[in-house]
């Protein structure tokens, strides 16, 4: 079976977290004998063709190579447009380049699988009709969440979804979003992605970043956050909750893993929490993040919106309970009061109350963490399990009984 992935985000190297979960799925499918070619937007200093972990990667040049910046950075296309509106000039050329390359590459595959409804899904919809190949479109959250607030994006999403042969949501909420666009239930599927988490090695994290020794040795509650430092992630809510706990004489430290445009602002806010209580370690290779997580007692996701929140699965697989915003996606993963706690998005007081539970009971994180690890394993939220489910969908689309 030969499948073409079209995606608007794909890691430029092994240390790049953007679209890393797409690569995890691709290499898991390759391990099961599926031939995967990935088509992604070009970016400065990135080869237009490479082979990585058995996955053939092609990057579409859509502007002067060194100025291709619409689809780069941790925030993605929409945040880039907000800060640099002139990048809108690159939208039509990006769509045209992805479509042109998709048509060329799709002639040699059995099926097209577009990740994100637009622009990759739109390019896939056009290419699939030209070459007469089945099209699967997956929403990873941000695309359909934005489409619900924009009539233009909703129109584009509806046009694309109606031309797909199968629409996949990585959460039940995303699957329901497709149906609000008028897509029939028979053409919509919930299919979660999985994670590929090996045994955490916190000692390796300490060797790589000796400054972490102070965090690892902290004698109070150790909180971990991992993700982009962008407005949607609302990391300031975590820091405000931590500041309130510190003001109440609770011993709480936090480890912030990630980078992004909000980094400078967050460093400033961390100063009000107290010296030596907030540790920033920047962006880390995706495969190394679980080892950093293992240094903490509890994981916090303070996002305002998510598709599924795979980082939650990684944290739970690592053995951490999760305190998360009560939003679509994560609420499907975190059982309130069992594997973690949920709080209202943006509510620093509510988050502080949840963290207080762990700070006042040293055994709670261990008990809930064990439940969390057991829950994700029983749910089969592994990269191998997700690959099997995708192969079954592909087989269904192609009329074969594969897996």
> Is residue 55 situated within a structural domain?
yes
CA distance 289 to 293: 6
Contact 4, 39 (CB under 8 A): yes
Same domain? 344 vs 389: no
CATH number at residue 346: 3.40.50.2000
The token pair that represents 240 in the structure block = 């405000």
Q: Do 321 and 344 share a domain, yes or no?
A: yes
Q: How far is CA 197 from the centre of its chain?
A: 15
Q: For the chain, what is the domain count?
A: 2
The H-or-E segment that residue 190 falls in is: strand 188-190
Q: Is residue 403 part of a domain?
A: no
Q: Find, among 93, 65, 187, the residue nearest to 137 by Cα.
A: 187
Query: Within this chain, do residues 392 and 362 fall inside the same structural domain, yes or no?
Result: no
Q: What is the dihedral of CA 157, 163, 165, 166, to 10 degrees?
A: 10
In terms of domains, do 36 and 122 share one? Answer: yes
For residues 137 and 262, membership in a common domain is answered with no
d(CA 56, CA 51): 5
The whole domain housing 148 covers 2-194+382-398
Is 34 part of any domain? Answer: yes
- Are 24 and 158 in the same domain? yes
Are 215 and 294 within one domain? Answer: yes
| Element at 26 (helix H, strand E) | helix 20-31
Measured between alpha carbons, how far is 334 from 201 in angstroms, rounded to an integer?
24
pTM of the model: 0.89
Same domain, residue pair 182 and 44: yes
Residues 112 and 212 in one domain: no
Residues 53, 30 contacting (CB under 8 angstroms): yes
Question: Residue-wise pLDDT tens for the chain (403 aa)?
Answer: 999 999 999 998 877 888 899 999 999 999 999 999 999 999 888 999 999 999 999 999 999 998 999 988 776 787 788 888 999 999 999 999 999 999 999 999 999 999 999 999 999 999 999 999 999 999 998 889 889 889 999 999 999 999 999 999 999 999 999 999 999 999 999 999 988 877 788 888 888 777 789 999 999 999 999 999 999 999 999 999 999 999 999 999 999 999 988 999 999 999 999 999 999 999 888 888 999 999 999 999 999 988 888 999 999 999 999 999 999 989 999 999 999 999 999 999 999 999 999 999 989 999 999 999 999 988 889 899 999 999 999 999 998 544 4
For residues 178 and 283, membership in a common domain is answered with no
d(CA 74, CA 4) in angstroms, rounded, equals: 24
Q: What is the DSSP code string of 68-106?
A: --TT-SSS-HHHHHHH-GGGGGHHHHHHHHHHHHHHHHH
Q: Which class for 385: exposed (0-12), middle (13-18), buried (19 or more C-beta within 10 A)? A: middle
């Amino acid at each position: 079976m030969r499948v073409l992935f079209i995606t608007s985000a794909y890691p430029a190297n092994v240390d790049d977290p953007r679209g890393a979960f797409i690569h995890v799925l691709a290499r898991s499918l390759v391990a099961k004998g599926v031939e995967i070619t990935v088509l992604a937007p070009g970016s400065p200093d990135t080869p237009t063709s490479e082979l990585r972990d058995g996955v053939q990667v092609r990057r579409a040049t859509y502007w002067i190579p060194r100025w291709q910046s619409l689809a780069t950075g941790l925030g993605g296309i929409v945040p880039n447009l907000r800060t640099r509106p002139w990048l809108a000039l690159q939208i039509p050329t990006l769509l045209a380049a992805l479509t042109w390359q998709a048509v060329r590459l799709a002639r040699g595959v059995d099926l097209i699988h577009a990740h994100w409804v637009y622009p990759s899904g739109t390019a896939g919809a056009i290419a699939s009709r030209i070459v007469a190949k089945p099209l699967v479109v997956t929403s990873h959250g941000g695309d359909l969440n934005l489409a619900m607030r924009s009539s233009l994006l909703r129109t584009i999403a509806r046009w694309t979804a109606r031309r797909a042969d199968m629409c996949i949501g990585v959460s039940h909420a995303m699957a329901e979003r497709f149906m609000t666009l008028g897509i029939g239930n028979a053409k919509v599927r919930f299919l979660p992605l999985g994670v590929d988490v090996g045994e955490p090695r916190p000692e390796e994290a300490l060797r790589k970043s000796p400054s972490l020794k102070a965090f690892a040795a902290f004698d109070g509650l150790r909180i971990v956050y991992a993700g982009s430092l962008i407005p949607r992630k609302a990391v300031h809510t975590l820091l405000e909750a931590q500041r309130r706990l510190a003001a109440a004489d609770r011993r709480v430290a936090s480890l912030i893993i990630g980078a992004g445009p909000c980094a400078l602002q967050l460093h400033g806010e961390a100063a009000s929490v107290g010296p030596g209580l907030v540790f920033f370690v920047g962006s880390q290779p995706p495969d190394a993040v679980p080892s950093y997580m293992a240094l903490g007692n509890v994981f916090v996701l303070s996002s305002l919106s998510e598709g599924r929140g795979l980082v939650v699965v990684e944290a739970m697989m690592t053995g951490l309970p999760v305190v998360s915003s009560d939003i679509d996606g994560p609420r499907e993963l975190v059982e309130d009061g069992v594997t973690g706690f949920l709080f209202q998005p943006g509510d620093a007081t509510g988050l502080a109350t949840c963290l207080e539970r762990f700070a006042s009971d040293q055994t709670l994180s261990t008990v809930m963490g064990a439940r969390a690890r057991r829950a994700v394993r029983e749910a089969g939220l592994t990269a191998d399990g997700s690959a099997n489910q995708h192969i079954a969908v592909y087989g269904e689309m192609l009329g074969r009984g594969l897996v």
